[in-house]
């Protein structure tokens, strides 16, 4: 949940670290800090509560020279956001500095033990114990930092991606990973370290994704060395980055979120390219084809995910059950991992995760692995932990998603689930060839239909101003649009801080109807197909209670529009693809309401993009 970045080479480290932190700020943004071994050979730390721009202010008149450094942007877990709890943290003698992303679960007992031995803790963080423990092992056993790090990490319970500097060895840096992501970029006589590749891409496209429980030793003028926690040498697999710099910049939009909403016609095309073959009426997914036998023998599919990815998973259930007739269960990873789920070796567990790093989803698939289930990952970040921990899968290929509120990842996940459902349907003969041909052709048309909806942006912006007063908001949908109601409500609450609930429209009369009055905006997703007549009567019920109705309707439909205070049209499509269209106006509505309320949409309070802690 925090971002870490490091540099070791011949250039000035500070500007590289600051730029890196700005790229990683989506991971956490309540405090920031940097440690440098400056040109005078001093190990200095500058850190502050607040954002990277506050760190720039704090270090303005300081000596920021030096060609080696580490930096951190924090999302607090242990200890409130404050200057002293910010990373980096010094060891007792201030010769070592450390940054950390993750949670050290046994920090309390380690802290008590080290305090007894005379080590002083300045912060309330779990992190500080790691660097103190390393120094303690060096002092008490007379060993080097290289020897102390693996030893210390064997005592540590929890998750980490960390990087360490040693004042006495300004030509070296050590980094390690367990549970939290860590990438090393290899340049010409220089190394870059990052929580992901975004701080690295500008300088090199050669990267190594550090594996679980691995330690990486970096030294100027030498090749990188990797070992496991028992100091057994490991091979470094160098990979080429596919991402480009323009993908991680705003490209003229005021916010990443708006850029990502508007990118969806292209990102959807990208996620289906080479997979969807309308001329043949088929779908070709290599992750599916290569494991065909195993997948087709599945008796049941269990989808595990969190947040927006869970909403996509729920649509996946509807798609797979309708098109492929395989029973599907959708689980919150955080619940699944801690209850005693009944799993069979004939099950397929599908993990959906944009970041590929969500701790609960990773733990859920580890549990499924132990039960012998076959693991299929739908991830966006190439080389991410979930992508590597699954047996096979599909990348969504939408480029980096930076806005904390997920938008383009959701539509791509739903499109990918549609491709999977169609692959099963073809192989299991659960729908006719002509029906499959119709669906494949329609899926191909979805990107241009999204582009059409985006053309209504201004109308939605105008409406948004009307709703800044709202304190509560209800989103209703039926069938395929019920998960869309959940996702629309999530978008609104995440970035505008207006309380919003998504509900299956018919359930309204079992509770939420009591909330409806002339103050209450009710967003109803009511396209012409599916349970149209039913939702029409739900709208009548809201109208009778004077609720203010915003509806999402199919182009040309006047019946619902007449009953609504405001309505937005979406092009007609197959029921099962409606979510990919109906979510677009809801993403824009949430964005514009949040902007009208003066919120920071790309970095909403208390949230983080990648949740690598439980």
Residue 271: strand, helix, or coil? helix
The continuous run of DSSP H or E covering 274 comes out as none
Please identify, among the stretches 294-302, 354-362, 416-424, 591-599, the one whose residues bind ligand G6P according to the rule CB under 6 A: 354-362
Does residue number 481 form part of the binding site for ligand G6P (CB under 6 A)? no
Query: Using CB atoms within 10 A of its CB, is residue 342 exposed (0-12), middle (13-18) or buried (19+)?
Result: exposed
Is 178 annotated as catalytic?
A: no
Q: Is 408 in the site for ligand G6P (CB under 6 A)?
A: no
- How many beta carbons lie within 10 A of that of residue 545, not counting itself? 14
- The residue with its CB nearest to ligand G6P is 307
Q: Cα separation of 197 and 23, whole Å?
A: 10
Asked if 353 touches ligand G6P (CB under 6 A), the answer is yes
Q: Out of 16, 76, 404, 542, point to the residue binding ligand G6P (CB under 6 A).
A: 404
Nearer to ligand G6P, 361 or 567 (CB): 361
Closer residue to ligand G6P (CB): 73 or 361: 361
Taking the complex as a whole, the smallest distance from the CB of residue 248 to ligand G6P amounts, in Å, to 16
Task: Give yes or no for residue 484 binding ligand G6P (CB under 6 A).
Answer: no
d(CA 132, CA 123): 12
Whichever of 135 and 309 has its CB closer to ligand G6P, that residue is 309
Only one residue has tokens 């801690």, namely 338
- Contact flag: residue 358 with ligand G6P (CB under 6 A): yes
CB 611 to ligand G6P: min, Å:
5
Burial class (CB in 10 A: 0-12, 13-18, 19+), 370: exposed
Nearer to ligand G6P among residue 269 and residue 607 (C-beta): 607
384 vs 481, beta carbon nearer ligand G6P: 384
SS3 414: helix
- 607 is a contact residue toward ligand G6P (CB under 6 A): yes
Residue environment code for 109-126, b if the CB has 16+ CB neighbours within 10 A, otherwise e:
ebbeebeeeebeeebebb
Q: Which two tokens stand for residue 332?
A: 């919150």
Distance, CA of 357 to CA of 305 (rounded, Å)? 11
Stretch that binds ligand G6P, among 290-298, 456-464, 551-559, 602-610 (CB under 6 A): 602-610
User: Among 6, 170, 281, 307, which residue sits at the site for ligand G6P (rule: CB under 6 A)?
Assistant: 307
Binding residues for ligand G6P, rule CB under 6 A, total 15
Buried/exposed code over 32-42 (b: 16+ C-beta within 10 A; e: otherwise)? bbbbbbbeeee
Q: Does 611 bind ligand G6P (CB under 6 A)?
A: yes
Going by C-beta distance under 8 Å and a sequence separation of 6 or more, which residues neighbour residue 466? none
Cα distance between residue 471 and residue 576, in whole Å? 32
The nearer residue to ligand G6P, 358 or 582, going by C-beta atoms, is: 358
Q: Is 609 in the site for ligand G6P (CB under 6 A)?
A: yes
Residues 254, 600: Cα–Cα separation, whole Å: 11
Minimum distance between the CB of residue 282 and ligand G6P, rounded to whole angstroms?
28
- 471: buried, middle or exposed (CB in 10 Å: 19+, 13-18, 0-12)? exposed
Contact 361, 337 (CB under 8 A): no
303 binds ligand G6P (CB under 6 A): no
Select 309 or 582, whichever has its Cβ closest to ligand G6P.
309
Under rule CB under 6 A, residue 27 binds ligand G6P: no
Euclidean distance between CA atoms 446 and 77, whole angstroms: 41
> Virtual CA dihedral for 333, 338, 341, 343, nearest 10 degrees?
70
* Contact with ligand G6P (CB under 6 A) among 22, 406, 416, 423: 406
Judged by CB under 6 A, the stretch of 187-195, 196-204, 301-309, 390-398 that binds ligand G6P is 301-309
Decide if residue 486 touches ligand G6P (CB under 6 A). no
Among 56, 306, 389, 394, binds ligand G6P (CB under 6 A): 306
Q: Determine the interface stretch with ligand G6P among 152-160, 277-285, 304-312, 366-374 (rule: CB under 6 A).
A: 304-312
Whether the Cβ atoms of residue 551 and residue 560 lie closer than 8 Å to each other = yes
Q: Is 501 in contact with 508 (CB distance < 8 Å)?
A: no
Please, what's the b/e burial string for 299-323 (b: 16 or more CB within 10 A of its CB; e: otherwise)? Answer: ebbbbbbbbbbbbbbbbbbbbbebb
CB of 610 to ligand G6P, least distance (A): 6
Q: Quick check: is 284 catalytic?
A: no
- Counting contacts by CB under 6 A, is residue 390 touching ligand G6P? no
Which CB sits closer to ligand G6P, 136 or 310?
310
Answer yes or no whether residue 308 interacts with ligand G6P by CB under 6 A: yes
Angle of helix 481-496 versus helix 578-596 axis, rounded to 10:
20
Q: How far is the CB of 340 from ligand G6P (least distance, A)?
A: 23
Q: By the criterion CB under 6 A, which residues form the site for ligand G6P? A: 306-309, 353-355, 358, 361, 404, 406, 607, 609-611
What residues act catalytically? 2, 609
């Amino acid at each position: 949940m925090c971002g870490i970045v490091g540099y070791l080479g011949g250039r000035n480290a500070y500007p590289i670290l600051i730029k890196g932190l700005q790229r990683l700020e989506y991971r956490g943004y309540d405090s920031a800090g940097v440690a440098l071994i400056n040109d005078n050979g001093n190990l200095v730390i500058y850190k502050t509560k607040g954002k990277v721009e506050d760190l720039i202010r704090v270090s303005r008149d300081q000596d920021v020279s030096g060609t080696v450094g580490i930096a951190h942007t924090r999302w607090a877990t242990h200890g409130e956001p404050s200057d002293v709890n910010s990373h980096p943290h010094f060891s007792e003698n201030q010769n070592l500095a450390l940054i950390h992303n993750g949670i050290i679960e046994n920090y309390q007992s380690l802290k008590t033990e080290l305090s007894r031995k005379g080590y002083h803790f300045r912060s309330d963080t779990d992190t500080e114990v790691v660097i103190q423990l390393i120094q303690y092992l060096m002092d008490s056993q007379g060993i080097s930092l290289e020897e102390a790090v693996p030893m210390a990490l064997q005592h540590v319970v929890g998750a980490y991606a960390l990087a360490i500097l040693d004042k006495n060895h300004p030509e070296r840096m050590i980094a390690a990973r367990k549970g939290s992501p860590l990438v090393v970029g290899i340049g010409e006589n220089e190394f870059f370290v990052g929580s992901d590749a975004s701080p690295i891409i500008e300088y090199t496209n050669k990267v190594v994704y550090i594996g679980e429980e691995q330690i990486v030793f970096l030294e100027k003028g030498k090749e990188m060395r990797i070992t496991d926690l028992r100091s057994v040498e490991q091979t470094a697999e160098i990979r080429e980055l596919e991402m480009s710099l323009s993908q991680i910049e705003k490209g003229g939009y005021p916010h990443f979120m708006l850029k990502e909403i508007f990118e969806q016609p292209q990102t959807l095309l990208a996620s289906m390219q080479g997979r969807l073959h309308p001329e043949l009426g088929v779908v070709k997914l290599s992750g599916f084809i290569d494991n065909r036998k195993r997948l087709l023998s599945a008796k049941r599919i269990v989808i595990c995910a969190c947040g927006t990815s869970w909403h996509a998973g729920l649509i996946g259930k509807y798609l797979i059950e309708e098109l492929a007739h395989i029973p599907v269960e959708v689980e919150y990873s955080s619940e699944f991992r801690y209850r005693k789920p009944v799993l069979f070796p004939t099950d397929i567990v599908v993990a959906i995760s944009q970041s590929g790093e969500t701790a609960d989803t990773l733990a859920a698939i580890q549990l499924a692995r132990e039960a012998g289930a076959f693991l299929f990952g739908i991830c966006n970040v190439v080389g991410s932990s979930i992508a590597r921990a699954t047996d096979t899968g599909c990348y969504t290929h939408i480029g980096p998603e930076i806005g904390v509120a997920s938008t383009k990842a959701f539509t791509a996940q739903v499109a990918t689930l549609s491709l999977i459902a169609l692959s099963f349907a073809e192989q299991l003969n659960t729908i006719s060839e002509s029906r499959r041909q119709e669906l494949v052709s329609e899926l191909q048309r979805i990107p241009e239909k999204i582009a059409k909806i985006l053309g209504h942006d201004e109308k939605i912006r105008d409406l948004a101003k009307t709703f800044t007063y709202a304190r509560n908001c209800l989103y209703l949908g039926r069938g395929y649009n019920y998960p869309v109601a959940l996702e629309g409500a999530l978008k609104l609450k995440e970035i505008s801080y207006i309380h919003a609930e998504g509900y299956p429209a018919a359930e309204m009369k079992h509770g939420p109807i009591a909330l409806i009055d002339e103050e209450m905006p009710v967003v109803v997703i009511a396209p012409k197909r599916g349970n149209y007549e039913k939702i029409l009567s739900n709208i009548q019920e809201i109208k009778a209670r004077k609720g203010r109705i915003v509806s999402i309707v199919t182009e040309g439909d006047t019946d619902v529009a007449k009953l609504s205070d405001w309505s937005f049209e979406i092009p007609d499509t197959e029921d099962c693809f409606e979510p990919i269209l109906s979510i677009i106006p809801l993403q824009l509505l949430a964005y514009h309401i949040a902007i009208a309320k003066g919120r920071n949409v790309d970095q909403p309070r208390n949230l983080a993009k990648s949740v690598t802690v439980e």
